[in-house]
Amino acid sequence: MEAITNFLESLHFSPIVFGLQIILFLGFHMTMKTLIYDPIVNARNQREGRIEGHLAKAEAAAANAKGLKLRYEEEIKAQRLVLAQELKDATEKSEKAAAERLQQARDEAGKLTDDANARLDDEEKQLKASMDQEAGKLALAVAGQVVRNSLSEDAQGRVLAQLKG
């Protein structure tokens, strides 16, 4: 141990100065810890706490946004289905109305055709009847002419009387 003491004395080592230096260092350390280190550590911890709080809020907002997005997408799908059904119904309704109008037009055309055919049949019958009458008159006239030309007046009167009667 004497070697160590001799060595320390050669370095002009004083245990009192060394003890005072240790006391001053510990005092300085405690003062710095109280005045600088603790406030810095507290500020850093508060900052980390705020950051974690903001991150938690951001994550909650992101989850909420994701939930809203899913809900809106489902609503959009539901609305698209409703609109597709409405379009289908409207298309079917318009096609049905068009088919009904087409059938009505066909029915009217059929009635008009039937009426025209009936009128044509009536006119044909009237024309045949008038032609028969005219043919009868013409036949009488021709027969009268033939009788006049070929028979005597007495015979002509009897034949004309029979033809008229």
**Burial status of residue 164 (CB atoms within 10 A of its CB: 0-12, 13-18, 19 or more):** exposed
34 phi-psi bin (left φ>0, alpha ψ -120 to 50, beta other): alpha
- Lookup: tokens for 124: 């044909």
CB 159 within 8 A of CB 147: yes
Residue type, 58: A
| pLDDT tens string 89-104 | 999 999 999 999 999 9
| pLDDT tens string 101-157 | 999 999 999 999 999 999 999 998 998 888 888 888 887 777 777 766 776 666 667
